[in-house]
Amino acid sequence: MRTEQTKSKRMERTRYQWEQMLEQMSSAGVTLYVDNRVARPKDIAARTVRENSPYMADFIFGDAGELVQLRFDRLRR
């Protein structure tokens, strides 16, 4: 039981940190997507930060080498 609580707290902390990082990226002009749709950092963190997450990140860079999009696509089996 205690191990599950610790794991849950760790996952929540990771989700919060990931959400904050995505917020910073979004504020810097990076467009965020989940499954080909523009998404909010909170929604992305909720879907992607979990055990056995079926999402893969794809970083899209512009001509000058700057990050312009971060896309999360669900992996299909």
Going from N- to C-terminal start, the domains of the chain cover 2-74
How confident is the model over 7-59, as pLDDT tens digits? 888 889 999 999 999 999 999 999 999 999 999 999 999 988 877 778 999 99
Give the pLDDT score at 1: 56
- Of residues 1 and 13, the one with the higher pLDDT is 13
Of 39, 9, 46, the closest CA to residue 25 belongs to 39
Q: Check pLDDT > 60 for residue 66.
A: yes
Is residue 48 within 8 A of residue 72, CB to CB? The reply is yes
